[in-house]
Chains A and B, each alone.
Chain A
Amino acid sequence: MGSNMAEAHPVGFQWVMEAKARGARVIHVDPRFTRTSAHADQHVTLRVGTDIAFLGGVINYILSNELDFREYVRAYTNAPFLLSERYRDTEDLDGLFSGYDPHTASYDPSSWAYESVRAEERSGCREKEQTDPFRHGAAGPAVEGTAAEIASDPELRHPRCVYQVLKRHYARYTPEMVERICGVPREQFLDVCRAWTANSGRERTAALVYSVGWTQHSVGAQYIRAGAIVQLLLGNIGRPGGGIYALRGHASIQGSTDIPTLFNLLPGYLPMPDTTHEDLAGYVEAIGPRHTKGYWRNADAYTVSLLKEYFGDAATAENDYCFDYLPRINGDHGTYRTVMDMVEGKVSGYFVLGQNPAVGSAHGKLQRLGMANLDWVVVRDLTMIESATFWKDAPEIETGEIATERCRTEVFFFPAASHVEKSGTFTQTQRMLQWRDQAVEPPGDCRSELWFFYHLGRRLKERLAGSADERDRPVLDLAWDYRMEGDEPDGADVLRHINGIDLRTGRTVNGYSDLKADGSTACGCWIYSGVYADEVNQSRRRKSRFEQGPYEAEWGWTWPLNRRVLYNRASADPEGRPWSERKALVWWDEEKGEWTGHDIPDFELTKPPHYRPPEGAEGPEGLGGDDAFIMMTDGKAWLFAPSGLADGPLPTHYEPHESPVRNLLYGQQGSPVRKVYGRPDNPSNPAPPEAHHEVFPYVFTASRLTEHHTAGGMSRQLPYLAELQPELTVEVSPELAALRGLVHLDWAHVVTSRAAVDARVMVTDRLAPLRIDGRTVHQVWMPYHWGHTGLVSGDVVNDLIGVVADPNVLIQESKVLTCDIRPGRRPRGPALLEYLQGYRDRAGITPRTGTRIMTAGDDDPGPPHMEPGQDPDQDPAPPEGSP
């Protein structure tokens, strides 16, 4: 679901074919019939943005038919735990959970806690950001005292136990409801339920694959939670052939999250400190609090080691290891927020590194206008991309919104080194680091990012040398002495520092358990600790698949500690025996007195299954022999998330921000805490209960083609790829084509309140209309690879998309919106602006549209959630930055 694996990850898809050869049944749930569907046993067409309703239906099917893997659920999930009396479910509040504040459009999650433990109380929420979990890194916020015994009902009968709460929450997600919301005929839906449950349990496992088709939604995080709940109920986590696979789209997008270039994270999913973190102690307490189980309790060791790597000798116990050097976040500083700040002139400089926001980010126009309003921008890429040339060939030049000679932005283009011209590691989609050897020297001025940032830092240090300004201390104290090869820093040495070094011996540490909080170790990313164990670059290993076992432990290196299947302790029953011989992965070896198996156990090697922690034990020691989920503060997998999520402890179906239909399940239409940015240059199409949504009657979604890569910077420029998909097309069903008079291969244009985009029409049976609650709903699909440079060019599809985000991770909702489609080409130049204004007038769109996000119940819906300083009734005029 939410993935078109055969097209976006063709080589990975060989393993699906392999599974088919071994008898697996492949089901593809997707809005359109794709090259993946062509090889699935069953394809299910569903309406974009309704996956939670679908999965909720599956959960309901499992629970109401008692088809869950009971022993697994009882032993490894928090199903038995009792919740606090203060908890109220969406069942009680018309689609809201307890703790909702309409004025900040955010939740106070304290009422979601377990009965017997104290969740961190919050003194109300002054601003929405104060509640936002992006402040919490991967651990999620504290649930203190979970090391202690938690009130539970092993029989899963207690009305307040998670199991029963789950059952009640999903009771209304019936097959009939799924059919009305998703448009999936009842029988097809039940086929999927039957197949999924029949292929799970002791003897069998089912795997779930998703991609950005799930993440790019205003409730993206909850999509994945919903998938996780199904997989947990069926016992498909931590077991061979089970799991949830996030197929990621870039060579090192996993790595750039582990070692983040993200504002809210430090390496290893440590949260970026915020204004509530007075000092190191407070920070550490917030991440790995007292009286909790699991490895996050050692956050102090991870943090101190990181600071030691950052600031070297300057970091001492006395000065709190330079914790104060770290800048503090106090809200949303995500890329979209930043771009809007650019438009408002709040940002001076911008580095664009191997990315192409002018085409690749949602609301491309906003991106370009933002960049056109900077002091300077540095673009580093292989080729001349749209983000470097916006000042002379952006679409806004044609409409007069950007005028070259009035655009002040100073642009530096630095040619980048390609993947064969530098050595280093990518982390692929299954957390595996693979080292690349350098093949050739970069030509001309081309340099690696490693070179660029090392020398930028060196020059900055030289420039600031001797400065008395306290503000410059972090730069001056920055540990910046890596082994050099000529004037290129040695990537291997950087990786060595990321792995971690024992400062007493000067040798690399062998894993994160070696890290200390006393400043005696330095480690750049604790989860990568072990990649340079024994002073050997483990990620460089290339032992042939023909010479090693099924889990190929000697090819590359997978974090954590080269464990290929996370939480694989769960592949054995509480007593440590494999659930079944067929599905054995790791198990307890009584003779040796240690865990063993095909994979490296994701568990303390010598901790027996029957181990019970002593009273008051914390952290790893606090984990029992059957606490398979060793990163969780209670050692259990969370069916119900007592904390860590901004939008509720349980996935709930909300309609997308832009939707043609009313939410059939609750009064609450969309996510009540979704992040909206109500402003003239970011208009929304109206959605029920707002009026005039029929002006944009069709559901729009966009995704990839095999033949191109993301924004096309690495494919539109290549003849061999460009010739395979030379033009931007829009795929429509025969029914919609007839309705709108669209002709195969002719021109048409797609319109939203943001933009209109030209494309050639592909009329195909691969798309089909859906019957949603008695109405016929049509869906439109486009690939988003085109821009105005390259061998093949076309309009920028991302211009159609507005900015509204998931409150947990601030990922934009770009997979689903509403649109109109008309035959013929769009107007050009200034006429285009009038054309769009016409649409906005007909739809009565103002910056206020879509910002009144609470629609549940009859009590005060609260104010529209506008951008600060926006007059709610002002019409969207041509945005700032225009002449």
Chain B
Amino acid sequence: MTRENSFYGPLDDPAADAGHTDHPPRVGFFTDTSVCIGCKACEVACKEWNLVPEDGLDLTGMSYDNTGMLGASSWRHVAFVEQQLPLGRQETGLPDLPTGPSVTGVQQEVVAEGMRHAERGGAQLGTGPVDVGFPSFELPGATTGAEGRTDFRWLMSSDVCKHCTHAGCLDVCPTGALFRTEFSTVVVQQDICNGCGYCVSGCPYGVIDRRPDDGRAWKCTLCYDRLRGGLEPACAKACPTDSIQFGVLDELRERADRRLEQLHGLGVGEARLYGRDPDDGVGGDGAFFLLLDEPEVYGLPPDPVVPTRDLPEMWKYAGVAASALLTAAVAVFVGGGRR
């Protein structure tokens, strides 16, 4: 089989590329955030099935999100974003009310300020904002209705490991604990992982992390064991409104395209697909999304690239440097005579 795109670029059949012969079709998630009701069933169903430990009881103040982000002990994460923007043609009921300016921005700043002082800059699961004397705010002309707010939307989105076509975590893993399954998903084998932590820095989405107490790296397995038993992954099965859809990736991509068309037709122009494109920096995601705003608003990188893309070049430069060192070493002995 061809190997030219093993490290980067479109790759039709990752499972085959990983040596799986006569394997099942590639499966994944299509998470349609336009129908997410933010109930967090996915987070709980995942934890119940995968026996993932509780990840901290801090109040984050990030709207209704008290999980904060994906991590070693949270393999699904529902983001909540309150914005002073319209959603399609939804009517918020705000017009003509005696309102002042919006606080959505303030909410963001208050939390962000507190996060900066939190462990790992807030990247540690379950860390809420540190109280640095939360800044208050002035609302000029509040309740005068002068500059009253009329637009509002509340975005919710369930994030998960992307199971990239080109997975940074998998590429860098030195033990083979991370491997590409016959379903083309990316899974950590807990009987192998020795907690070197390389995958944590290898992931361009900041998904995988190491559990401090346990020492090993953990992330969504797309319920590998359930798949092997012909069961739908726990989160997709539980999702009350089918915001999380599981299936054969090709079918999901068609479904997503139809959905996008429908939404644009309905005036929800801000809808866009994320991670669906096989030509993107990671060769397309096995778990992709329909978002209603830019990815970074949900805490996702706008244009992730698998580090492996530049690996050949890196080795090239490293080789040059190495030979330079060798040359220098020889030179310092031959040159310069006896002194």
Do A and B share a direct contact in the complex (Cβ within 8 angstroms)? yes
A residues within 8 A CB of B100? 734-735, 738
Known contacts A11-B240, A185-B95, A765-B103: A735-B139 contact under CB 8 Å: yes
The answer for the CA separation of A184 and B143 in the assembled complex, in Å, is 16
Known contacts A738-B142, A739-B143, A776-B98: A719-B54 contact under CB 8 Å: yes
Chain A 694-732, CB-CB to B under 8 Å as 1, else 0, gives 000000000001110000000000011111111101000
The answer for the CA separation of A741 and B96 in the assembled complex, in Å, is 24
The answer for the CA separation of A722 and B126 in the assembled complex, in Å, is 12
Q: Which of B102-157 contact A (CB under 8 A)?
A: 102-104, 106-107, 110-111, 114, 126, 129, 131, 134-139, 142-143, 149, 152-154, 156
Q: Does B43 contact A (CB under 8 A)?
A: yes
A residues within 8 A CB of B17? none
Chain A 505-528, CB-CB to B under 8 Å as 1, else 0, gives 000000000000000000000000
In the complex, the answer to whether B66 meets A706 with C-beta atoms within 8 Å is no
Q: Does A278 contact B (CB under 8 A)?
A: no
A residues within 8 A CB of B242? 14, 17
Could you list which residues of chain B lie within 8 angstroms of chain A, going by C-beta atoms? 35, 37-41, 43-44, 47-48, 53-59, 61, 63-64, 66-67, 82, 84, 89-104, 106-107, 110-111, 114, 126, 129, 131, 134-139, 142-143, 149, 152-154, 156, 240-242
Known contacts A724-B40, A734-B139: A38-B154 contact under CB 8 Å: yes
Known contacts A13-B37, A35-B38, A723-B57: A771-B91 contact under CB 8 Å: no
Could you list which residues of chain A lie within 8 angstroms of chain B, going by C-beta atoms? 6-7, 10-11, 13-14, 17, 33, 35-45, 183-185, 187-188, 191, 705-707, 719-727, 729, 733-735, 737-739, 741, 743-746, 760, 762-766, 768-771, 776, 791-792
In the complex, the answer to whether A726 meets B58 with C-beta atoms within 8 Å is yes
B residues within 8 A CB of A184? 93
Known contacts A764-B82, A791-B57: A43-B153 contact under CB 8 Å: no
In the complex, the answer to whether A17 meets B35 with C-beta atoms within 8 Å is yes
Please name the residue on chain A nearest to B37 by beta carbon. Answer: A6
In the complex, the answer to whether B92 meets A33 with C-beta atoms within 8 Å is yes
User: Distance in Å from the Cβ of B7 to the closest Cβ of chain A?
Assistant: 38
The answer for the CA separation of A603 and B35 in the assembled complex, in Å, is 39
A-B contact pairs, 11 of them (CB 8 A): A10-B37, A10-B240, A17-B35, A35-B39, A184-B93, A724-B43, A733-B99, A765-B103, A768-B99, A769-B143, A770-B97
B residues within 8 A CB of A44? 93
Residue in B38, B56, B61, B102 whose beta carbon sits within 8 Å of that of A734 in the complex: B102
In the complex, the answer to whether B152 meets A771 with C-beta atoms within 8 Å is no
Residue in B41, B82, B95, B134 whose beta carbon sits within 8 Å of that of A765 in the complex: B82
In the complex, the answer to whether B240 meets A185 with C-beta atoms within 8 Å is no
A residues within 8 A CB of B135? 743
In the complex, the answer to whether B240 meets A13 with C-beta atoms within 8 Å is yes
User: Distance in Å from the Cβ of B281 to the closest Cβ of chain A?
Assistant: 32
Known contacts A765-B102, A769-B143: A187-B240 contact under CB 8 Å: no
In the complex, the answer to whether A734 meets B103 with C-beta atoms within 8 Å is yes
In the complex, the answer to whether B39 meets A6 with C-beta atoms within 8 Å is yes
User: Distance in Å from the Cβ of A209 to the closest Cβ of chain B?
Assistant: 15
Residue in B43, B44, B97, B134 whose beta carbon sits within 8 Å of that of A743 in the complex: B134
User: Distance in Å from the Cβ of B110 to the closest Cβ of chain A?
Assistant: 5
Residue in A727, A738, A771 whose beta carbon sits within 8 Å of that of B139 in the complex: A738
In the complex, the answer to whether A724 meets B139 with C-beta atoms within 8 Å is no
In the complex, the answer to whether A185 meets B97 with C-beta atoms within 8 Å is yes
The answer for the CA separation of A528 and B37 in the assembled complex, in Å, is 35
Residue in A35, A42, A183, A724 whose beta carbon sits within 8 Å of that of B97 in the complex: A183
The answer for the CA separation of A44 and B97 in the assembled complex, in Å, is 11
Q: 7 extra interchain contacts, Cβ-Cβ under 8 A, other than A745-B131, A791-B57?
A: A17-B35, A42-B93, A723-B57, A735-B100, A738-B137, A743-B135, A768-B99
B residues within 8 A CB of A6? 37, 39
Residue in B57, B82, B91, B134 whose beta carbon sits within 8 Å of that of A746 in the complex: B134
Known contacts A706-B40, A726-B57: A45-B139 contact under CB 8 Å: no
Please name the residue on chain A nearest to B92 by beta carbon. Answer: A43
A residues within 8 A CB of B57? 722-723, 726, 791-792
Residue in B38, B66, B134, B152 whose beta carbon sits within 8 Å of that of A33 in the complex: B152
The answer for the CA separation of A44 and B95 in the assembled complex, in Å, is 10
In the complex, the answer to whether A771 meets B97 with C-beta atoms within 8 Å is yes
A residues within 8 A CB of B54? 719-720, 722-723
The answer for the CA separation of A874 and B219 in the assembled complex, in Å, is 64
The answer for the CA separation of A705 and B37 in the assembled complex, in Å, is 12
The answer for the CA separation of A187 and B100 in the assembled complex, in Å, is 20
In the complex, the answer to whether B98 meets A188 with C-beta atoms within 8 Å is no
Please name the residue on chain B nearest to A17 by beta carbon. Answer: B241
User: Distance in Å from the Cβ of A231 to the closest Cβ of chain B?
Assistant: 22
B residues within 8 A CB of A185? 95-97
The answer for the CA separation of A744 and B48 in the assembled complex, in Å, is 32
A residues within 8 A CB of B82? 764-766
User: Distance in Å from the Cβ of B135 to the closest Cβ of chain A?
Assistant: 8
B residues within 8 A CB of A41? 89-91
The answer for the CA separation of A739 and B99 in the assembled complex, in Å, is 12
In the complex, the answer to whether B44 meets A721 with C-beta atoms within 8 Å is yes
User: Distance in Å from the Cβ of B74 to the closest Cβ of chain A?
Assistant: 9
In the complex, the answer to whether A745 meets B102 with C-beta atoms within 8 Å is no
B residues within 8 A CB of A771? 97-98
Residue in B84, B97, B99, B134 whose beta carbon sits within 8 Å of that of A745 in the complex: B134
User: Distance in Å from the Cβ of A777 to the closest Cβ of chain B?
Assistant: 9
B residues within 8 A CB of A745? 59, 61, 110-111, 114, 129, 131, 134
B residues within 8 A CB of A727? 59
A residues within 8 A CB of B92? 33, 37, 43
User: Distance in Å from the Cβ of B22 to the closest Cβ of chain A?
Assistant: 30
User: Distance in Å from the Cβ of A821 to the closest Cβ of chain B?
Assistant: 15
Residue in B39, B44, B126 whose beta carbon sits within 8 Å of that of A7 in the complex: B39
A residues within 8 A CB of B138? 738
A residues within 8 A CB of B63? 764
In the complex, the answer to whether B102 meets A769 with C-beta atoms within 8 Å is no
B residues within 8 A CB of A719? 53-54
Residue in B64, B66, B96, B143 whose beta carbon sits within 8 Å of that of A723 in the complex: B66
User: Distance in Å from the Cβ of B64 to the closest Cβ of chain A?
Assistant: 8
The answer for the CA separation of A705 and B241 in the assembled complex, in Å, is 17
In the complex, the answer to whether A729 meets B35 with C-beta atoms within 8 Å is no
Residue in A10, A45, A706, A720 whose beta carbon sits within 8 Å of that of B93 in the complex: A45
In the complex, the answer to whether A188 meets B91 with C-beta atoms within 8 Å is yes
The answer for the CA separation of A185 and B98 in the assembled complex, in Å, is 11
Residue in A183, A744, A765 whose beta carbon sits within 8 Å of that of B61 in the complex: A744
Known contacts A13-B37, A35-B37, A38-B153: A765-B98 contact under CB 8 Å: no
In the complex, the answer to whether B56 meets A10 with C-beta atoms within 8 Å is no
The answer for the CA separation of A33 and B56 in the assembled complex, in Å, is 28
Known contacts A35-B154, A738-B142: A762-B61 contact under CB 8 Å: yes
- Name the residue in A721, A744, A766 with the highest tally of chain B Cβ atoms < 10 Å from its Cβ: A744
In the complex, the answer to whether A737 meets B103 with C-beta atoms within 8 Å is yes
The answer for the CA separation of A739 and B136 in the assembled complex, in Å, is 12
In the complex, the answer to whether A765 meets B149 with C-beta atoms within 8 Å is yes
In the complex, the answer to whether A735 meets B152 with C-beta atoms within 8 Å is no
Known contacts A38-B156, A44-B93: A720-B143 contact under CB 8 Å: no
Please name the residue on chain B nearest to A30 by beta carbon. Answer: B93
User: Distance in Å from the Cβ of A50 to the closest Cβ of chain B?
Assistant: 14
A residues within 8 A CB of B131? 745
User: Distance in Å from the Cβ of B29 to the closest Cβ of chain A?
Assistant: 18
A residues within 8 A CB of B41? 10
The answer for the CA separation of A459 and B85 in the assembled complex, in Å, is 67
6 nearest CB pairs, A to B? A719-B54, A185-B96, A738-B139, A727-B59, A745-B61, A726-B57
B residues within 8 A CB of A768? 93-94, 97, 99
A residues within 8 A CB of B142? 734-735, 738-739
A residues within 8 A CB of B114? 745
Residue in A33, A706, A763 whose beta carbon sits within 8 Å of that of B154 in the complex: A33
A residues within 8 A CB of B134? 743-746
In the complex, the answer to whether A14 meets B240 with C-beta atoms within 8 Å is yes
In the complex, the answer to whether A741 meets B136 with C-beta atoms within 8 Å is yes
